[in-house]
Amino acid sequence: LHNSQWNVDQAAALVMTSVAMARAHGIPESRWVFPLAAAESNHMVSLSQRRPFHRSPGFAHAGRAALSRAGVAIARVSKRELYSCFPVAVRLQCRELGISEDAELTVTGGMAFAGGPLNNFVLQAGVRMTQLLRESPGEIGMLNAVSGFLTKQGVTLWSSTSPDSAFGFDDVTDAVARETQQIALAEDARGAATCVSYTVQFEGDRPARTLFVCDMPDGRRALAASGDAALAEAAMTMELCGVKLRLAEGSAEVA
C-alpha cells in the first residue's frame, strides 16, 4: 500500500501555449496557469553506489534553483505533489526542500492511490495541480519527478498568477556531480562488513531472505544476501543498520 500502482488505465493532457495565442483563441484568463520555473539534475548514480542513502543532492540543488529562479520562498508553496513511488522518495524531498512531513504533500493522493505508469504520473498530477491553482488565484504549486530510483531529480513551480519575470530553466547536473559521493563496488567481497541498508524478500506471505548493502573496511561497498529465515523474520522488527556482518561469496551472516 506504500508503493506506486502502475497498472492503471488513465490519460491526461496539458495544452501549452503563449499568452498571445490564448488571448487570440478567447481562452478566459481564469483558466490560465503559468509555469514559473523548472530545474533538474541528470547526474545518475547507481543506487548501490550512493553515499549516503538518506540525502539527495539533486533535489537540494534543483529545489534551490527553481525557487530562486521564481523568486519565492518554500513557505510560499501551498500546493505540492512530491513524487511518491515509495515512501523514502517523499521523505527525501521533504528533507532537501525544507518541507514539513506534516504538511499536505500531494494533490492527488499520491501514486499509491491515484496511480500512473512510471513518470507519466507527473502528467496526471499536473492536470490536478492545474485545476486546483485555477481555484486558488495567486497560490503556488510544486510538481516534482524522480525518474525511477531517485535517479534524476526535477522540481517545477506553477501559479495561476502571471509571474513578474519570464519562465526559467536550470540544469544543475554539474553542481550535483561535484557534490555526489560515489562508492566503488566490490564484486567478490569477503570478510568483515557493516550493514548500511537492507530489505527483506518474501516467499508467499513469509519473510525468507535478507538482502544487504554493506560497507567494507577498505571503503568499497558490497551487496550480499542471507537465506536464514530466522534472520529475515528478525529483520522485520529489529534495526540491522550498523550491524557487523561477515561476507563470503555473496552471502552474509551476522558476525
User: For the residues of 88-152, what is the DSSP string, one character each?
Assistant: HHHHHHHHHHT--TTS---SS--TTTT--STTHHHHHHHHHHHHHHHHSTT-EEEEEE--TTT-S
> DSSP state, 219?
S
Cell of 12: 491526461
Sign of CA dihedral 225, 231, 236, 239: negative
- Per-residue pLDDT at 89: 94
What is the chain's mean pLDDT, rounded?
Answer: 94
Q: Is the pLDDT of residue 4 over 90?
A: no
- Per-residue pLDDT at 118: 74
Compute the average pLDDT of residues 208-225.
96
Q: Is the pLDDT of residue 144 over 90?
A: yes
Lowest mean pLDDT among 4-13, 32-41, 142-151, 201-210: 4-13
- Per-residue pLDDT at 117: 75
- Per-residue pLDDT at 9: 84
Instruction: Output the pTM of the full model.
Output: 0.91
Q: Which of 133, 72, 80, 83 is nearest to 102 (CA)?
A: 80
Give whole-number Cα distances, 240 to 39, 67, 197, in Å.
36, 38, 8
Compute the average pLDDT of residues 155-179.
95
- Per-residue pLDDT at 249: 82
